[in-house]
Amino acid sequence: MPDFELQYPLIQPAEGSFRLLELPPDLCKFVESSLDSYIPLNLTIKGGADDDAVLCTADKTYSIRSVVLSNSVLVVTPVSEEGDDSIDTRKIAIQESLHEILELVPTVPKLHRLGGLLRGMEWDDGHEDDEFDDDSQKIKRRRFTYEQARMELQASEQELVKALKDRHILVIDDALRPIPPPYLHTILELLLAHLASLTQQHDAASVTDLTRALEYEHEVDRRVVCQVMRWFGEIDESGDIWKMDVEAVVRQIGLGILRNYKEEPIAEDVFLKKWQDAVGDTFSEAVSISLLSGNCLVAPGPHYTYFPQAELPIDPAARFTDLFLTRSRWKADDIAPFLSDIAVDAKDRDKLLLKYARALTDKDGVWYTARTR
């Protein structure tokens, strides 16, 4: 082992000038590959004064945790001789003594504030830029832009884009505008109807023909139609061929029907008939209750009730409380979809189940009940 001469610098750096960040293996490989390929590395630490900070890459979010060390770690740098640019590698200066490291742990993006930030900014076709005060005077509608969301929300770029798609939030003139579920349901039904009337193939439909039909015949803004098409399919590079995601469209129409049965359940045969009629003969075979996983409860009969995952608390303890107040026990396969948005992966989900639930096994399989009552 080589010998070094330890020195303290003549000018002491401010305490807390250095932090040690331990990278998880996947992020370490990403950083190393970026250095080797000279690809710009974009790592951002996000969080307000009242938030626990997170680190975001282009597609993932990591929580930052402080871990106390049992032994101190010295941060040292080589010493250069005064008046000489050369460095004596045998002499090192102690810059700081650290007693903790920062650890990165994968976490779900913190997007729970998005609904509150966009409250009152829903898209109102035909009146999308207008609001009125108590004296019926027109005022400018409040705006929350995509750039503001990027800066304020603790999520990576790709996670934010996915959240806007999954939550059906339009980006119109850079402003974020949630689309009301009934209006989205209407647009999807119109798209299916015009696919048939215009004899368009669902996997190679004309964007121009469909947007023109909805705009001229139903006064649906073309920008809205195009974004809905991208949520529920793909538009090619030319911008004029839409390949519809049949499963996604059928699922959303089913949810639109089930949303009317949040308090009173609907019988399976009645529900399936409504659903199949809404999507038409061409897509009726795609109708399946499994598409509604994480959004409905099944009762004997069977009967179905609208129970959306998105309206459950984001805090794990509160989420499990709500679930076990709704049902005293859950089958493993039934509860899993209601945890997908608060768990990074299946391993993380199992940790939550172990912490907040008790597993019981009988002839029907594994059930979960509340750990505390």
CATH number of the domain where residue 12 is located: 2.60.40
232 occurs within a structural domain:
yes
279 occurs within a structural domain:
no
pLDDT score recorded for residue 176: 96
Residues 103 and 118 in one domain: no
Domain boundary among 189, 215, 246: 246
CATH number of the domain where residue 318 is located: 1.10.10
Q: In what order do the strands lie in the sheet with 357-362?
A: 329-331, 365-370, 357-362
Q: Per residue of the chain (373 residues), what is the pLDDT tens digit?
A: 567 777 776 666 666 678 888 899 988 888 888 877 777 788 899 988 888 999 999 999 999 999 998 888 888 888 766 655 566 667 888 888 888 999 999 999 999 999 999 999 999 875 555 554 555 555 566 799 999 999 999 999 999 999 999 999 999 999 999 999 999 999 999 999 999 999 999 999 999 999 999 999 999 999 999 999 999 999 999 989 999 999 999 999 999 999 999 999 999 999 999 999 999 999 999 999 999 999 999 998 899 999 999 999 999 999 999 999 999 999 999 999 999 999 999 999 999 999 999 999 988 889 999 987 5
pTM over 0.75: yes
Residues 128 and 191 in one domain: yes
What HEC string does 116-150 produce?
Answer: HHCCCCCCCCCCCCEEECCCCCEEECCCCEHHHHH
Residues 145 and 21 in one domain: no
98 occurs within a structural domain:
yes
Residues 90 and 134 in one domain: no
Residues 220 and 147 in one domain: yes
294 occurs within a structural domain:
no
Task: Identify whether the C-beta of residue 131 lies closer than 8 Å to the C-beta of residue 140.
Answer: yes
Residues 137 and 19 in one domain: no
pLDDT score recorded for residue 15: 63
- Which long-range contacts does 81-90 make (Cβ < 8 Å, 24+ apart)? 90/2, 90/3, 90/4, 90/5
For residue 53, the tally of other CB atoms under 10 A from its CB is: 14
